[in-house]
């Protein structure tokens, strides 16, 4: 739960002269003038050079079908296997691997007759491959073919003249021994852009390879392997690579790698995220299965709804970090996963997981004479990669985790004392170098947390925020920006900060990433990309002491809204729901005998709630419903009495009786049988926090028993009754005051540039008075970069890749005390040179020379 420090800023309002007349004239400006006072040269805190990095996790096809250039989806035919039920039992439907459709299809031309099956009968290619593709060709005439086609990651981008390297393993039966196969790049109708014969087949597995050079472009092509005679063939590990970034074999999609390089990340955290522990033990990321020949890599089910080939394995990640010139932050699993650590390797097996961790460090850093260092050298990299940061799993905690963490920490430090270890949780009194925290939320959430780190205790572990995101649009970008101002300001505490997820393949977006979006042939920078880039290019060396006095806006917390019910891993049945206004007027009365069309079902398919006689019943397995919610009524309801009857029919908890519900992040609840079915009390969820509003009264909800609930909601108080008895009373929350603008000031020591970063989260321009104290010289011309758009929801897309992009220009009139206007919904970076001889990066520029929207900024 988050605690929000109160603001301490003064509200000093004054008026200012207008420098940027165009902006003033075009829009009505917001409230009063904000005053931003910067003490140049005073109270400097060094900015942590590890701000800002990137987080590479295979989610949304960040890797498979994303930066990893392999064009064949499901190249080893393993995605057609049934994922073991155990591993996925708690995953929501959209993340269930069963939802992945195979990318392979059968092509019978003319009268040819063939069938395709995914086969696990021996002899398989090797022990890493559990299945292959068997193609039975029953009949085939002259000029006909039976083929399997791969559609790639929703299309294969065929480029005229480019070299496509393919490889595959094949064997034939006696009938096909000595026959050739044909591989080709084609369109849907069978138009061939490039083809090559391979063979001859034998009855044992052989590797075939070659190159194709297409004669035309087609961004949505496919790859085929065809037989021309009757018989049976078996195929496995089919691979197709276009030219890769830096021409590395088994390498990266160049334009995506270039976009990542453009961010100049200070570090790269990989390979996850939850991807590391992956939801169950058999599918945790075990690095030893991710190195060497791709045919020897089994791959694994990825927690994010598809299979990962692990073609981008430990070695390739380390190589990528080296190519980017960035510090690797390698995250390894500790064998603790599942909800409540329900899948955890017993302590008797922990040694194996620990050894894997130690060996990973030896692979990365050991001399080429060491066992694992020698393997690295064999893979073409004799020099150590020099990893300095190691993450001990991701978003884990609790007793099972802490027990293992202690073992890992001590053993790793003993062998590698200079490694910095990152723990994903508060490990209490256990030793800890860096504690990692993750923040996802709306713009409002980040506004409410902009001072979060100002009051963090010093003297303990340093903090990394290796996942934060506000969403893939302008609101998300501004949210990240103002959050980063807080991270920079607390540079003495902060280290290793990056947003997440980085990428989204738009044809299979399970959880939209924030920075780079693409399909199989196009890509663009999403708005938060520019925040990362502008902050990493304008980090400066020191944070200058500054103050900002500005207007506030009030954020309502549970002021009005609908009624509803929410359950977590629990099933209930509802009856007799009624809402009565303060004047006794009935605002709502259920009539479940006639249905429940006025109820909105969230988080589960609507079919999980059905009407049976006079009840509204939750019918799906509770394990499928970690959280579900039904709501009804009007969002402008304020005071009322809410009655309902409920009966628990299965699961772990009781119910949240919701009132003043407006949206996912704004509601109040009388939680009956909450906290693991241990008690009842009032809670408030606002975009900033979840808060207990009354003491928790112990008590359990019994399965099968009907309960009468009444909640009286009046102005700023609520009372909750259970079976006629008053159980809890709460005072409701007053509105929270949020700033309208955010700002920070840094300085580059060498050239003396003062870098002001200012964010306006309002629809109107914001007048600013900027005071630069403590500097004798100020260059009147400054470099201004503005990221802004008309609506907070504005975002870039495949069709409009540069809709929201920074615009740069030189502005004049900068002096010790000057007026300035921040554009509506904007981040502004203003680089002001304060060294007479410095000629800072943008010093002495007088003519306005805007960069066209969408061009990348100069280094
Ligand atoms: O960034 C996506 C996921 O969010 C990460 O895997 C996990 O750490 C977090 O829950």
pLDDT band at 87, cuts 50/70/90?
very low
Average pLDDT over residues 806-832: 97
pLDDT band at 451, cuts 50/70/90?
very high
pLDDT > 70? residue 498: yes
Query: Range with the lowest mean pLDDT among 101-105, 162-166, 269-273?
Result: 101-105
User: How many residues belong to the chain?
Assistant: 859
Coil, strand or helix at 44: coil
**pLDDT mean across residues, the chain:** 90
Helices and strands in the chain: count of H runs, count of E runs: 12, 55
The answer to whether the CB of 742 falls within 8 A of the CB of 759 is yes
Q: What integer pLDDT is reported at residue 10 of this predicted model?
A: 26
Q: What integer pLDDT is reported at residue 15 of this predicted model?
A: 24
What residues does ligand 1 touch, defined as CB less than 6 Å away? 57, 59, 272-275, 394-395, 438, 467, 500-501
| DSSP element (H, E) containing 357 | helix 350-365
Q: What integer pLDDT is reported at residue 846 of this predicted model?
A: 27
Q: What integer pLDDT is reported at residue 81 of this predicted model?
A: 64
Query: Range with the lowest mean pLDDT among 157-171, 204-218, 439-453, 842-856?
Result: 842-856
Tokens representing 624? 């499928």
The answer to whether the CB of 758 falls within 8 A of the CB of 778 is no
pTM here? 0.86
Write out pLDDT tens, residues 368-394.
999 999 999 999 999 999 999 999 999
pLDDT band at 697, cuts 50/70/90?
very high
pLDDT > 70? residue 100: no
Report the DSSP pairing between strands 494-497 and 462-469.
parallel
CA of 525 to the centre of ligand 1 (A): 21
pLDDT > 80? residue 96: no
Q: What integer pLDDT is reported at residue 472 of this predicted model?
A: 97
Give the number of the atom of ligand 1 that is nearest the alpha carbon of residue 57: 6
Partnered with residue 434 across adjacent β-strands are 422, 462
pLDDT > 70? residue 852: no
pLDDT band at 342, cuts 50/70/90?
confident
User: What's the rounded Cα separation, in Å, for the pair 256 and 318?
Assistant: 17
CA of 155 to the centre of ligand 1 (A): 27
pLDDT band at 686, cuts 50/70/90?
confident
Q: What integer pLDDT is reported at residue 229 of this predicted model?
A: 96
| Atom 10 (ligand 1) nearest CA | 274
Of the residues 274, 425, 441, 502, which should be mutated to test ligand 1's pocket, given the most ligand atoms within 8 Å of the CB?
A: 274
Phi and psi at residue 622, to the nearest 5°: -65, -25
User: What's the rounded Cα separation, in Å, for the pair 678 and 653?
Assistant: 8
CA of 499 to the centre of ligand 1 (A): 10
Q: What integer pLDDT is reported at residue 86 of this predicted model?
A: 40
Q: What integer pLDDT is reported at residue 12 of this predicted model?
A: 24
Of the residues 467, 480, 497, 511, which should be mutated to test ligand 1's pocket, given the most ligand atoms within 8 Å of the CB?
A: 467
pLDDT > 90? residue 607: no
CA of 273 to the centre of ligand 1 (A): 5
Write out pLDDT tens, residues 625-639.
678 999 999 999 999
Q: What integer pLDDT is reported at residue 26 of this predicted model?
A: 36
Tokens representing 623? 């394990």
| Atom 8 (ligand 1) nearest CA | 273
Of the residues 394, 436, 440, 503, which should be mutated to test ligand 1's pocket, given the most ligand atoms within 8 Å of the CB?
A: 394
Q: Dmax of the chain from CA atoms?
A: 91
Q: What integer pLDDT is reported at residue 91 of this predicted model?
A: 53
The strand ranges marked E within 613-705 are 615-618, 628-632, 640-651, 655-663, 666-673, 679-685, 690-692, 697-698
Residue with token string 């138009």: 191
| Atom 5 (ligand 1) nearest CA | 273
Write out pLDDT tens, residues 546-604.
999 999 999 888 899 999 999 998 999 999 999 999 999 999 999 999 999 999 998 88
Give the number of the atom of ligand 1 that is nearest the alpha carbon of residue 500: 1
Query: Range with the lowest mean pLDDT among 304-313, 325-334, 740-749, 841-850?
Result: 841-850
Give the number of the atom of ligand 1 that is nearest the alpha carbon of residue 304: 6
Write out pLDDT tens, residues 306-326.
889 999 999 999 999 999 999
- Cis ω for the linkage preceding 186 (within 30 of 0): no
Partnered with residue 146 across adjacent β-strands are 108, 227
Coil, strand or helix at 75: coil
Q: What integer pLDDT is reported at residue 690 of this predicted model?
A: 87
User: What's the rounded Cα separation, in Å, for the pair 271 and 56?
Assistant: 6
Tokens representing 487? 């991270």
Q: What integer pLDDT is reported at residue 301 of this predicted model?
A: 87
235 CB neighbour count, 10 Å cutoff: 24
Tell me what percent of the chain is helix, strand and coil, each rounded to the nearest 5.
15, 35, 45
Q: What integer pLDDT is reported at residue 648 of this predicted model?
A: 96
| Atom 3 (ligand 1) nearest CA | 273
Q: What integer pLDDT is reported at residue 343 of this predicted model?
A: 85
CA of 280 to the centre of ligand 1 (A): 15
The answer to whether the CB of 329 falls within 8 A of the CB of 268 is yes
Of the residues 278, 476, 501, which should be mutated to test ligand 1's pocket, given the most ligand atoms within 8 Å of the CB?
A: 501
Write out pLDDT tens, residues 768-802.
999 999 999 999 999 999 999 999 999 999 999 99
Give the number of the atom of ligand 1 that is nearest the alpha carbon of residue 55: 1
User: What's the rounded Cα separation, in Å, for the pair 764 and 590?
Assistant: 44
Write out pLDDT tens, residues 517-552.
999 999 999 999 999 999 999 999 999 999 999 999
CA of 439 to the centre of ligand 1 (A): 10
Does 510 or 722 have the greater pLDDT score?
A: 722
Query: Range with the lowest mean pLDDT among 36-40, 50-54, 84-88, 259-263?
Result: 84-88
Tokens representing 358? 């130690």
pLDDT > 80? residue 851: no
Average pLDDT over residues 71-92: 68
Q: What integer pLDDT is reported at residue 753 of this predicted model?
A: 94
CA of 624 to the centre of ligand 1 (A): 20
Mapping DSSP onto H, E and C, the string for 256-299 reads HHHHHHHCCCCEEEECCCHHHHCCCCCCCCCHHHHCCCHHHCCC
User: What's the rounded Cα separation, in Å, for the pair 156 and 520?
Assistant: 7
User: What's the rounded Cα separation, in Å, for the pair 154 and 170?
Assistant: 25
pLDDT > 80? residue 466: yes
pLDDT > 60? residue 1: no
pLDDT > 60? residue 441: yes
The answer to whether the CB of 392 falls within 8 A of the CB of 434 is no
């Amino acid at each position: 739960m988050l605690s929000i420090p109160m603001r301490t800023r003064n509200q000093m309002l004054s008026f200012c002269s207008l420098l940027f007349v165009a902006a003033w004239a075009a829009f009505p400006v917001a409230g009063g003038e904000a005053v931003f006072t910067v003490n140049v040269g005073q109270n400097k805190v060094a900015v942590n050079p590890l701000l800002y990095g990137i987080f590479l996790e295979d989610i949304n096809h960040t890797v498979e079908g994303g930066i990893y250039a392999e064009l064949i989806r499901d190249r080893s035919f393993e995605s057609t296997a049934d994922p073991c039920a155990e591993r996925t039992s708690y995953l929501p439907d959209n993340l269930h691997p069963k939802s992945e459709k195979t990318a392979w299809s059968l092509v019978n031309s003319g009268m040819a007759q063939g069938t395709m099956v995914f086969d696990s009968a021996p002899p398989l290619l090797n022990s890493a491959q559990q299945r292959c593709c068997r193609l039975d060709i029953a009949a085939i005439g002259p000029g006909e073919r039976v083929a399997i086609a791969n559609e790639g990651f929703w299309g294969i981008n065929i480029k005229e003249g480019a070299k496509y390297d393919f490889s595959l393993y094949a064997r034939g039966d006696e009938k096909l021994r000595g026959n050739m196969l044909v591989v080709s790049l084609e369109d849907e109708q069978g138009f061939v852009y490039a083809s090559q014969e391979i063979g001859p087949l034998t009855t044992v597995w052989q590797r075939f390879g070659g190159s194709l050079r297409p004669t035309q472009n087609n961004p949505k092509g496919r790859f085929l392997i065809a037989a021309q005679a009757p018989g049976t063939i078996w195929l496995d590990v089919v691979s197709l690579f276009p030219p890769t970034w830096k021409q590395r074999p088994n390498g990266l999609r160049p334009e995506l790698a270039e976009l990542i390089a453009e961010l100049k990340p200070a570090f790269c955290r990989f390979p996850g995220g939850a991807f590391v522990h992956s939801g169950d033990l058999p599918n945790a990321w075990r690095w030893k299965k991710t190195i060497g020949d791709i045919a020897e890599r089994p791959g694994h089910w990825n927690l994010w709804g598809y299979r990962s080939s692990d073609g981008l394995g430990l070695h390739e990640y380390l190589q990528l970090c080296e190519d980017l010139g960035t510090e690797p932050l390698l995250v390894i699993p500790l064998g603790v996963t599942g909800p409540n650590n329900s899948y955890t390797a017993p302590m008797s097996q922990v040694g194996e997981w620990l050894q894997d961790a130690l060996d990973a460090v030896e692979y990365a850093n050991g001399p080429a004479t060491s066992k694992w260092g020698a393997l690295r050298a064999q893979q073409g990299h004799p020099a150590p990669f020099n990893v300095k940061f190691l993450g001990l799993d991701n978003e884990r905690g609790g007793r099972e985790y802490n027990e293992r963490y202690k073992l890992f920490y001590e053993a790793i430090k003993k062998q590698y004392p200079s490694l910095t270890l990152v723990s994903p949780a508060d490990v209490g009194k256990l030793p800890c170098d860096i504690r990692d925290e993750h923040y996802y939320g709306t713009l409002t959430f980040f506004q409410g947390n902009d001072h979060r780190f100002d009051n963090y205790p010093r003297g303990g572990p340093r903090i990394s925020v290796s996942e934060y995101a506000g969403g893939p649009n302008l609101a998300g970008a501004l949210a990240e920006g103002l959050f980063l101002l807080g991270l920079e300001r607390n540079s003495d505490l902060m280290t290793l900060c990056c947003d997440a997820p980085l990428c989204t393949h738009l044809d299979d977006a399970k959880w939209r990433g924030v920075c780079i979006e693409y399909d199989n042939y196009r890509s663009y920078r999403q708005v938060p990309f520019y925040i990362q880039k502008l902050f990493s290019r304008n980090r400066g060396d020191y944070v200058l002491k500054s103050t900002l006095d500005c207007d506030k806006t009030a954020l309502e917390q549970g002021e009005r809204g609908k009624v509803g019910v929410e359950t977590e891993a629990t099933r209930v049945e509802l009856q007799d729901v009624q809402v009565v206004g303060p004047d006794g007027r009935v605002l709502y009365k259920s009539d479940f005998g006639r249905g429940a069309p006025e109820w909105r079902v969230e988080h589960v398919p609507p079919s999980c709630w059905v009407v049976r006689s006079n009840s509204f019943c939750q019918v799906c397995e509770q394990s499928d419903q970690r959280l579900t919610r039904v709501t009804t009524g009007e969002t402008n309801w304020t005071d009322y009495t809410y009655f309902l009857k409920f009966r628990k029919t299965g699961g772990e908890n009781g119910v949240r009786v919701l009132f003043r519900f407006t949206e996912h992040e704004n509601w109040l609840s009388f939680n009956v049988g909450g906290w693991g079915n241990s008690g009842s009390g009032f809670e408030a969820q606002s975009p900033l926090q979840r808060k207990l509003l009354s003491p928790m009264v112990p008590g359990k909800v019994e399965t099968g028993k009907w309960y009468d609930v009444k909640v009286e909601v009046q102005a700023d108080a609520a009372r909750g009754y259970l079976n006629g008895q008053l159980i809890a009373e709460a005072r409701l929350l007053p509105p929270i005051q949020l700033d309208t603008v955010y700002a920070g000031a840094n300085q580059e020591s060498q050239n003396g540039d003062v870098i002001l970063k200012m964010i306006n989260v309002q629809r109107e321009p914001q007048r600013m008075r900027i005071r630069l104290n403590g500097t004798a010289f100020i260059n009147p011309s400054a470099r201004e970069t503005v990221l802004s758009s008309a609506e907070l929801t504005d975002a870039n897309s495949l069709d409009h890749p540069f809709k929201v992009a920074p615009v740069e220009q030189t502005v004049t009139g900068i002096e010790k005390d000057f007026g300035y206007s921040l554009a509506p919904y904007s981040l502004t970076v203003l680089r002001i040179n304060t060294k007479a001889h410095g000629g800072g990066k943008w010093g002495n520029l007088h003519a306005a020379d805007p960069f066209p929207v969408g061009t990348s900024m100069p280094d």
